[in-house]
Chain A
Amino acid sequence: MTPLNFVKDAPTTIPISPGDQERIQNSPTGSQDVDLQRIAPKREERLFLVLSIFIGVLSGLLVVSFRVAIEWVQTILLGSAPHAHEPRLIIVPACAGLFVAALVRWVFPGARGSGVNQTKAALYIYNGFISFKTVIGKFITSAIAIGSGHSLGPEDPSLQIGAGVASIVARKLRLSRQSLRLFAPIGAAAGLAAAFNAPISAILFVIEEVIGYWSAAVLGSVVLAAIASVSVARIFWGSAPMFRIPTVTLRDPRELTAYAALGVIGGLSAFVFAKALSTLRPRLRAMSPNAQLFQPAIAGLLVGCIGYFGFPQVMGPGYEVMDQALHGQFTWQVLAALVAFKMIATTLSFSSGTPGGMFAPALFIGTMLGAAVGTVEHMLLPHASGAVGSYALVGMGVFFAAFLRAPLTSVFMVLETSGNYSIILPVILANTIAYLIARSLQPTAIFELFTHQDGLDLPSMEEQREEVGLHLEDALTPLRVPLLRSTESLTAAVNQLSLNPEERAMVVQMQDGSCYVLQAFELAMLVQITPESTTLQKALPAERTPLLFPDLPLDSALRHLSRWPLLPISNRASKGTLEGMVTLEDVLARYQRG
């Protein structure tokens, strides 16, 4: 299938301009790969690591600029400290929403959405192609939208910007299509790492949510790029974590009950939030293009109203508000109100198609939830509960795990952000509970839901993670053919075959435990050229059947079944003991059963 076919079949929800279509068609093809492979076979391998560092540095610089741009826009448009009852809180997001919608519709069609699904689409549909225009568009439109107060975050756009940078660099160096596909997640990890200032979380997220598998080939480059981008970001922002983390401790093991409660509340809240998004978004997207043009403006107006009438904290990414909650600066009533209004504001902003990410809102809601639970706990059991900041931090991970369905990333994010291992127990407990509750209430992960709503069919990383692969033991049958020792003679083999004339093969086990599958026609040939008293050991060629064990993947047998009619399966613990055998029919039958 050519890239052109992909583009033709691609849904309109991931818009590709005609110019980009042409570029995708002109992207490196298999024939070019062959030429380059011949004249410079090691070129890509050598370039890969160097380019990973360049991509990391470029992504880091762009993400720093992106964050500064957002803050500049916010300062210019909303003022240095937006407070409730300022009319511009209503006017600015509405006007910015209209402006951004126009830019997305007529100038940067690829900039719509958060950036995570767009990066996955680039990876799985467009051979890792992300245009320069999309990168610029994402930068500008997201900066305006988030800076003007839309309740969205900069992490997902940063991820797409990083992936875009990687894609551009790989294309300019005329790397193969396979490399182009690999570079997109490398850039994504770099962009996210710089945005989070947390390289491990970014690497894990990209592996957990974008690539979906661990590959040694990619891992090295992903790590290099992430470290390079975080190093660049830290030159500017400093090495301090994203939030000022208070002292986090688990004061009393009984506190785990409160953390478990936080997990339950987090799981339920994530479900409510996901439900709101999955309900409103398709309805808004089903409207006419002209109506869609005004959706970000209306969303901005409503978000602005929330800010105007008392909760300006919900506008923008809200990092400083999270910081305040981590330091116990709000009452539980305020925290609960912030959770509710942030959910509403983010649902409106995101569903309207305004460019911007979901990470920061998810972290915001989680932090407020955690702080609220911690504050209540502190009121009820002042001597048995730890700092509110601990709860806020755990809450951050809880909501992230439940809403974005990235449990591993959420745990490491909390640990990396806090720099404190002592909180691991509550984090794992609460995250697991929240994740399980959210999953049982809404089986489809939110990003996957969005891809379905957009008419795409991208692989579900959550399903991939949980996919149970088939193993040889699943197709294993008892040994149905004669088993002979290598010390026995050809006569014994002939006799055995004559006793079971329907058998077309037999397994000969050597003294070292290895096996040879002797077929009837081979035996007939051997008898003609070798004296019948010759032992099988001497008569048989040196070739042996592959040593296979029951826990190996089922497909590992397939490539050997063209040579051997059956394959003996050995026991790992006891050398020379056979567990059974598999044939091509057994394997295919097992695959057909599913």
Chain B
Amino acid sequence: MLQQQPRLSPLERREKHKLLLHDSAALCTLFGIVVALSFVTYGLFHSFMAHRGTLETRWRIRGEAAMSANRPDVAVNDLRSALAYSPDDRTLQIDLATALAASGRTQEAQSYFTTLLEQEPGSGAINLQLARLAIRQNNAQAAVDHYQLAIDGTWNGDAFIRRRELRMELARYLIALNRFAEARSLLLITSGNGPDNLPLQLQIGQLLEQADDPADALDVYRKAASHKATRLQSLEGQAHAAAALGRFSDARTLLQQAVGEPSFAHQPAPARAAVQSELQVATQIAELYPSLNLPMAERARRIARAATTAQARLLACEPQPLIQPGGQAAAQPDAQGGNPAARQSRTQLLTSLGEHISSLNPLARKPPQPPAGVPPTAPPSITPPDPLSALADRWSALATGTPLQRQLAADPVFAQKTLELVLDTERATADPSGTCGAPTGDNALWTRIAEAPPQTEGSQP
């Protein structure tokens, strides 16, 4: 129903018109105020925003400069200030977290990076930083996991290069952890992804060597050697790998080639000296080694000489204290530092063996006599096998009454058996901190031969 309008007097009508005018004017004024205030606010706001932009740039530059100057503490403050003006800047956030990590505020950095990762779980850069923090906190598994996530993660622009660098970094870390198999896989993937990158190939070769994979290292070096720019380095690398494989003759040849390279003369003196030294070692080993390619007489001569060297090394060793089931030493070391019972037992064996060998082998030296006055005692009833005594037994068993060199030349199986005994002896006495002391002279060379992988034996020249 329509409401009836009250009848207004002329005065009231005039008042009503006045009121309408007043309201219209008031609303127009209000509108004018809104427009004016909008302009003022706009000006104020934009001047401030421009100023904020300037401040953000200033603090960012300062932060980056501080990081470059290796002053992460200062960089943290500067980057934090920059972030206050540009809180959504991803690069700044990562820079700040990196600065926190660099300044030793590991927990803060970890917390920061974890939060950043929650916002961007696939970020390669954040995972990389978390991996490095995990290394710092000795959390190997977390580090490896984050490295893997970083490799699989997203990168801006240079993703291919970053992933390659990451694989190398992870491979180095795995090598440090002695996780060689995983490191080798990564290195081979990296090598396959960048076949034309020669410096990288050289690095991969070196890392493969460290990862106990000289065979693959040798392949990688060979590929790199086909390019002139890296020929010298790749020859040196190949030589190292060949030596690690026990292919000392190859190593000698490669090192000779490296020394013959024109660029070798431009190498720093210490590097040249190191190569020369390696060449000398490789040459000496090649002269010592009884290769199957040698005439039988020469091979027999070299094995006989090796046998003498090995026996002398074994004889010089102090025996291990014998352990009884109760866990205590069976007998106290005597004045010479050895266990009297074991010493006497082995001395007797070696004496007879030495005498036998010296009678048969003109190259053999007389082994040192055991100390006099050691009363013979029975060996302990229950003792673990002494590896050195076992070797001595094996040496003793070799004695057949026939002159050694002649027997070696006549019987290739005996020669091989003797050579294996030599290698076992050198291997068993190789530990420089053991009772035998550090190997020197020919022993040192034979130790290297002994520690070379056996499967490469057949490829000796």
Chain A residues in contact with chain B, CB under 8 A? 35-36, 38-41, 43, 47, 50, 54, 57-58, 61-62, 64-65, 68-69, 71-72, 75, 80-81, 83, 169, 172-174, 236, 244, 246-247, 320, 323-324, 327-331, 334, 375, 378, 387-389
Contact = CB atoms under 8 A, between A and B. Distances in A.
A68 B48 contact: yes
B111 A331 contact: yes
11 contacts: A39-B8, A43-B19, A54-B30, A54-B34, A58-B30, A58-B33, A68-B45, A71-B48, A173-B23, A174-B22, A327-B116
Given A320-B84, A375-B111, 20 more contacts: A40-B16, A43-B23, A47-B23, A58-B30, A65-B40, A68-B45, A75-B55, A80-B58, A81-B59, A83-B81, A169-B30, A246-B115, A247-B118, A323-B87, A324-B83, A327-B116, A328-B111, A329-B108, A331-B111, A387-B115
B26 A173 contact: yes
B17 to A, nearest CB: 10
Contacts of B20: 40
Contact of A58 (B12, B37, B81): B37
B41 A236 contact: yes
A187 to B, nearest CB: 13
Contacts of B16: 39-40
B34 A80 contact: no
A323 B115 CA distance: 12
A75 to B, nearest CB: 7
Contacts of B118: 246-247, 387, 389
Contacts of A64: 41, 45
Given A38-B6, A69-B44, A330 B15 contact: no
Given A36-B19, A40-B19, A54-B30, A328 B41 contact: no
A320 B87 contact: yes
B114 A80 contact: no
Nearest to A55: B30
Contacts of A41: 6
Interface string B68-97: 000000000110110111011000010010
B312 to A, nearest CB: 60
Nearest to A244: B87
Contacts of B114: 328, 378, 388
A386 B91 CA distance: 24
Nearest to B59: A81
Contacts of B366: none
A247 B111 contact: no
Interface string B111-131: 110111011000000000000
A426 to B, nearest CB: 17
Nearest to B93: A327
Contact of B37 (A62, A172, A244, A327): A62
B51 interface: yes
B27 interface: yes
A334 B44 CA distance: 35
A331 B107 contact: yes
A61 B38 contact: yes
Contacts of A57: 34
Contact of A80 (B27, B37, B81, B93): B81
A43 B58 CA distance: 56
Contacts of A54: 27, 30-31, 34
Nearest to A173: B26
Contacts of A375: 111
A221 to B, nearest CB: 16
Contacts of B34: 54, 57-58, 61
B43 to A, nearest CB: 10
B111 A388 contact: yes
A81 B81 contact: yes
Interface of B: 6, 8, 12-13, 15-16, 19-20, 22-23, 26-27, 30-31, 33-34, 37-38, 40-42, 44-45, 48, 51, 55, 58-59, 77-78, 80-81, 83-85, 87-88, 93, 96, 107-108, 111-112, 114-116, 118-119
A566 B356 CA distance: 138
Contacts of B83: 320, 324
Contacts of A81: 55, 59, 77-78, 80-81, 84
A508 B379 CA distance: 127
A65 B8 contact: no
Nearest to A240: B88
A329 B112 contact: yes
Contacts of B112: 327-329
A40 B16 CA distance: 7
Contacts of B15: 35, 39
A35 B34 CA distance: 30
A246 B30 CA distance: 41
Contacts of A323: 87
Contacts of B26: 172-173
A378 B51 CA distance: 38
Nearest to B37: A61
B55 to A, nearest CB: 4
Contacts of B48: 68, 71-72
Contacts of A246: 115, 118-119
Given A40-B19, A236-B45, A80 B115 contact: no
B259 to A, nearest CB: 57
B66 to A, nearest CB: 13
A65 B44 contact: yes
B5 to A, nearest CB: 9
A50 B81 contact: no
- Most chain A beta carbons < 10 A, residue from B85, B93, B115: B115
Contacts of B81: 80-81, 83
Contacts of B38: 61
Contacts of A80: 55, 58-59, 81, 85
Interface centre among A47, A81, A244, A331 (most CB of B within 10 A): A81
A334 B76 CA distance: 15
Contacts of A244: 87-88
A40 B17 CA distance: 10
A58 B36 CA distance: 10
A55 to B, nearest CB: 9
B440 to A, nearest CB: 53
8 A-B pairs with least C-beta separation: A81-B81, A328-B115, A39-B16, A80-B55, A320-B84, A61-B37, A328-B111, A61-B41
A330 B87 contact: no
A566 B157 CA distance: 87
B12 A38 contact: yes
Nearest to A243: B87
A387 B19 CA distance: 60
B208 to A, nearest CB: 36
